[in-house]
Amino acid sequence: VNVLAADQVHLSNNFARPREDRFALIEYEPGEGGSPVFADCSARFHCEKYQQVDGGDHWIMIGKVVAFDDFGRAPLLYHQGAYAEVRALPPCAPEAV
């Protein structure tokens, strides 16, 4: 599972639209088992197939995470219909005990 970086909106948009071959216009390397590996992403989860669930008109694939890579790049967020950025929140006051 590739976690896209904040500057990879074009990749997100490519997969958000219906098209015949979503991989035809993008660059990627085949990873273990042939899954696509994108360059310059924020992070990557390496998974083994754990379960396949019938979702009605589609299949839901559940993976068991066997490795994780963090490349130190800000992730691409999508929230309430728009792309967003990660930002630090102000520190919280300590809770009284």
pLDDT tens by residue, 60-90: 999 999 999 999 999 999 999 999 989 888 9
pLDDT digits (tens, 9 = 90+) for 9-28: 999 999 998 888 888 888 99
Residue whose entry in the numeric block shows the structure tokens 């909106």: 9
CATH code of residue 77: 2.30.110.10
Residue whose entry in the numeric block shows the structure tokens 């042939």: 34
Task: Identify the bridge partners of residue 47 per DSSP, sorted by sequence position.
Answer: 65
Q: Within a domain: residue 53? A: yes
In the chain, how many domains are there? 1
| Mean pLDDT of the 31-50 span | 92
Q: In whole angstroms, what is the distance from residue 48 CA to residue 64 CA?
A: 5
Q: Which two tokens stand for residue 66?
A: 């066997």
Dihedrals phi, psi of 50, to nearest 5 degrees:
-105, -45
Q: What is the pTM of this model?
A: 0.80
Q: Within a domain: residue 51? A: yes
